[in-house]
Amino acid sequence: MDTPDKTQITPTSSLSKFEDSPVFKYIDSLSPIELAKSRQSDNVFSSLAFLSPSSLFPSPQISCHRESRFLVKRHHFSAASNSRVLQSGNESNTSEGGSKAVEQSDLYDENLGFLNNDSSSKGISSDLLDEQLDLVTELPRTLKYDCGSPDGNLEPCDEMFKNTSVEVAGQERSPFQRNRDEWEERQQSFQNERDLRKICRIKWSEESAGGVAIVSDVADMLTMNSSIIHENTDGQDMRTADSGTTSFISTMLQFPLDNANNLENAESGDPSCSCKQSEFGEPVTDQTPGILSTCLLDKLVVSDSGLKKDDKGEKCNQSSHQRSIRRRCLVFEKSPGFGLHLNSLPNIPKGQNPLSKSTLSSMKRGEIPHDKRTVVTENSSETPATFGGNEADDNSPEKKRQKFELDEESAACKRCNCKRSKCLKLYCDCFAAGLYCIEPCSCQDCFNKPVHENVVLETRRQIESRNPLAFAPKVIRSTDRISDSWGETNKTPASARHKRGCNCKRSSCLKKYCECFQAGVGCSPSCRCEGCKNSFGRKDGGDESESDGEDLEACERNASEKKSHDIVINKDEEYPDLSVASSDISRLPFAYSGKLAGSFSHSIRSSPQLCTNQENGSLSDSSLCQPKFDSHLQAIPEDEAPEVLKHKCLPPVQKPTSPNCKRVSPPHRECSSSAAWRSRKLILRSVPLPSFSPP
DNA sequence: GAGTTTGAAACT
DNA sequence: CAGTTTCAAACTC
């Protein structure tokens, strides 16, 4: 910034264009751009470094995602000029692209109440434009995540943004101001709608090789979210925003797995990946899109708070997306714990919550890709033909199964039938799932409705105080690589076990009375069943191979037929210390939701609001938090995620390190210098996140 | 649809 | 923690 060149080469409104011009090239060849560029780059990043890394990246997971995001984005910036976001900038109208970036920046500042474009807006070397623009585009969006961190530290992010983007923003702002209002207005008007759409779009994006294509949308969402947070000044809204953010983060932490799974499927030509091929045709190793999709989903909940209304009128056939989101929102934002929302979605009875199949499809990359089918189906209406890349193999068994399940789910639309519990006990599937009862329910004297929100929450609180794991996922899905207490039986992607184990006496674990059987998982040593004949695997280590192939399919179908409750990814492999515990819970490193904080949970824990319910939980329990998934939302088998992604996505440590349930950023997350930043970016590609060793 | 069976949840 | 009761889903007829 202090280089003479910066003043000499004043950026114009179309810097990118200038850059491409012969004159520019000529100047470039003459000027000591190399040095200036190097310094400038460092300065840019140094400005970032000035901020406390911890403040900027309070969440290791978030940082991880952001960084990976950077990697991908930068990659595409340089290599892919046809990305949707940047295409304008890389095509004939380069200034446009830069302008958009600036616009984003401006909007971002405005949303945050910071308009600080006058500082150092002239000290920029033209040859840095590409990088500047890159940063301008990346940082604002990327930093949004940080802004939405549980810590709620928005300013650092903003500062960071200012330091990096202000220079350009200050110069090109005016030409785009007129578009800003329109843009913002559009955001407000179609916020919810967009959220929904974006979920699908991002879903596609997360699975698309391009990844960059969705940056714009994501940025919009992020900006919008930020705006929401700031605009809502009352405690209620603020709280909601925080909650949403927290959830969003928690989801972010979780979704990498999904993404990883997606990647794998994409590479294998999975039908569900039909719309995830990018124009570049290269797989995305960045889980950010996936994260975003999830984030958006959660964010929807937050932003949807204003739309909160009685679900009673909701019909199964109604706009499934919106309704589902609303339902989720209701539970989610108000829930004292996170057992609701994500954790509960899985339990949504078939056909009850269509959204769960679409929006949440991204969450249910379980052993079966049917979720993806859902995604494709849901996106089909909104996903442009261009999104379609790798056409699905409609004839694949997974596809068939998915269709089967979809039809099955669509056909049914029932919910609880409680008569005496008022739907305020775990007997009630809706309540247990963290959902309000809706019309399809046949319950009587139901209190599990928005109008009784306080009662619901209080009851839930009580239940959780009694049993922190009450709303925890009931099924743990482990990886085939894991050699856990279940031994060799745990070798298939579908391998999973009931967290607590069943206690069947007469059903021989061959009927749905048995939760293990119902979930389509084999019994484990944790089960206290008698005469176990579970076809999915006997607790004595019996034949689980049956769960493979057709039996597996039947199993999963069975699970999907009913609430298969929550399936949790067993992260034993990465958290062996937690995986071998004798108790079921201890076997769930980050399984669970209500109280347990797992790999995902950290994010959850990061929310003060959400943490309140975890007070009673032990440390280990807290570390096991994880959203639960129903049969349709089964967690992604770890084994299905590429190694790199797994490491990348999975939070390094799920153990709570902060008394107040907040995660403590690992040292390696800190970037004290631009060099570190850069090197870290490189390292992130190859170094598994679980390793806390700094670059 | 009514009644029975079953096992989880809740209670003591 | 164990035993009992309550509850609602699963199941049978």
Confidence band of A30 (pLDDT split at 50, 70, 90): low
The residues spanned by each domain of chain A are: 1-187, 475-637
Tell whether the model's pLDDT for residue A428 goes beyond 80.
yes
pLDDT for the residue numbered A653: 34
Tell whether the model's pLDDT for residue A429 goes beyond 80.
yes
What percentage of chain A carries pLDDT values higher than 90?
A: 1
Confidence band of A542 (pLDDT split at 50, 70, 90): low
For the full predicted model, state whether its pTM sits above 0.85: no
Tell whether the model's pLDDT for residue A557 goes beyond 80.
no
Q: Which residues of A188-209 are buried (b: 16+ CB within 10 A; e: fewer)?
A: eeebbebbbbbbbbbbbbbbbb
pLDDT for the residue numbered A39: 41
Backbone φ and ψ of A247, nearest 5°: -60, -40
Tell whether the model's pLDDT for residue A441 goes beyond 50.
yes
Pairwise CA distance, residues A65 & A637, whole Å:
20
Nucleotide nearest to A511 (CA to C1'): C10
Q: pLDDT tens digit string along A136-187? A: 333 333 333 333 333 333 333 333 434 433 333 334 444 344 455 555 554 4
pLDDT for the residue numbered A234: 39
pLDDT for the residue numbered A442: 85
pLDDT for the residue numbered A29: 60
Average pLDDT over residues A642-660: 35
**Structure-token pair, residue A660:** 């107040």
Cα angle: A87, vertex A88, A91; to 5 degrees: 80
Residues 6+ apart with CB under 8 A from A550: none
Q: pLDDT tens digit string along A331-384? A: 333 334 333 333 333 334 333 433 333 333 333 333 333 333 332 333 333 333
pLDDT for the residue numbered A343: 35
Q: Which residues of A677-689 are buried (b: 16+ CB within 10 A; e: fewer)?
A: bbebbebbbebeb
pLDDT for the residue numbered A455: 87
Tell whether the model's pLDDT for residue A652 goes beyond 80.
no
Q: pLDDT tens digit string along A226-242? A: 333 343 433 333 333 33
Q: What does the H/E/C string look like for A147-162?
A: HCCCCCCHHHHHHHHH
Q: Which residue is nearest to nucleotide C9 (CA to C1')?
A: A513
A658: Cβ under 7 Å from strand C? no
Confidence band of A478 (pLDDT split at 50, 70, 90): low
What percentage of chain A carries pLDDT values higher than 70?
A: 15
**Structure-token pair, residue A526:** 């944790």
For β-strands A496-498 and A567-569, DSSP reports them as unpaired
The helix or strand, by DSSP H or E, that contains position A231, with its residue range, turns out to be helix A215-231
Return the SS3 of A567.
strand
Report CA(A561)–C1'(B11) in Å, whole number: 31
A114: Cβ under 7 Å from strand C? no
Report CA(A427)–C1'(B9) in Å, whole number: 6
A417: Cβ under 7 Å from strand C? yes
A506: Cβ under 7 Å from strand C? no
| C-alpha to C-alpha distances, A642 to A75, A207, A274, A519, nearest whole angstrom | 20, 14, 19, 26
Q: Which residue is nearest to nucleotide B11 (CA to C1')?
A: A466
Pairwise CA distance, residues A501 & A195, whole Å:
38
Nucleotide nearest to A528 (CA to C1'): B7
> By the 8 A CB rule, do A161 and A140 touch?
yes
pLDDT for the residue numbered A560: 46
Pairwise CA distance, residues A318 & A664, whole Å:
43
A562: Cβ under 7 Å from strand C? yes
Helices A215-231 & A94-112 angle (0-180, nearest 10) = 20
Which positions in strand C are less than 7 Å from the protein's CB atoms? Answer: 6-11
Tell whether the model's pLDDT for residue A519 goes beyond 70.
yes
Helices then strands, counting H and E runs in chain A, come out as 29, 3
pLDDT for the residue numbered A25: 63
Report CA(A426)–C1'(B5) in Å, whole number: 20
Q: pLDDT tens digit string along A617-626? A: 333 333 333 3
Tell whether the model's pLDDT for residue A541 goes beyond 50.
yes
Tell whether the model's pLDDT for residue A433 goes beyond 60.
yes
Q: How far apart are the first and last CA of chain A?
A: 26
Q: Which residue has the higher pLDDT, A390 or A178?
A: A178
Confidence band of A471 (pLDDT split at 50, 70, 90): confident
Q: pLDDT tens digit string along A285-341? A: 333 333 333 333 333 333 333 333 344 344 444 444 444 434 433 333 333 433 333
pLDDT for the residue numbered A88: 38
Return the SS3 of A477.
strand
Report CA(A513)–C1'(B6) in Å, whole number: 6
Average pLDDT over residues A273-289: 37
Q: Which residue has the higher pLDDT, A191 or A236?
A: A191
Residues 6+ apart with CB under 8 A from A22: none
Tell whether the model's pLDDT for residue A418 goes beyond 60.
yes
Nucleotide nearest to A501 (CA to C1'): B8
Q: pLDDT tens digit string along A394-411? A: 444 444 444 434 434 433
Report CA(A477)–C1'(B2) in Å, whole number: 38
For β-strands A475-477 and A496-498, DSSP reports them as antiparallel
Tell whether the model's pLDDT for residue A649 goes beyond 70.
no
Pairwise CA distance, residues A443 & A50, whole Å:
58
Q: pLDDT tens digit string along A95-132? A: 444 444 334 433 333 343 333 343 333 333 444 444 44
Q: Which residue is nearest to nucleotide B8 (CA to C1')?
A: A427
Tell whether the model's pLDDT for residue A445 goes beyond 60.
yes
Report CA(A429)–C1'(C9) in Å, whole number: 10
Report CA(A105)–C1'(C8) in Å, whole number: 54
Confidence band of A500 (pLDDT split at 50, 70, 90): confident
pLDDT for the residue numbered A15: 43
Q: pLDDT tens digit string along A57-105? A: 333 333 333 333 333 333 333 333 333 333 433 433 444 444 443 344 3
Confidence band of A28 (pLDDT split at 50, 70, 90): low
> By the 8 A CB rule, do A69 and A685 touch?
no
Which positions in strand B are less than 7 Å from the protein's CB atoms? Answer: 5-11
Tell whether the model's pLDDT for residue A498 goes beyond 70.
yes
The residues of the protein lying within 7 Å (CB) of strand B read A 425-427, 432, 463, 466-467, 470, 474, 500, 502-509, 511, 513-515, 529
pLDDT for the residue numbered A47: 37
Pairwise CA distance, residues A555 & A220, whole Å:
41
- What value does the mean pLDDT of chain A take? 46
pLDDT for the residue numbered A499: 77
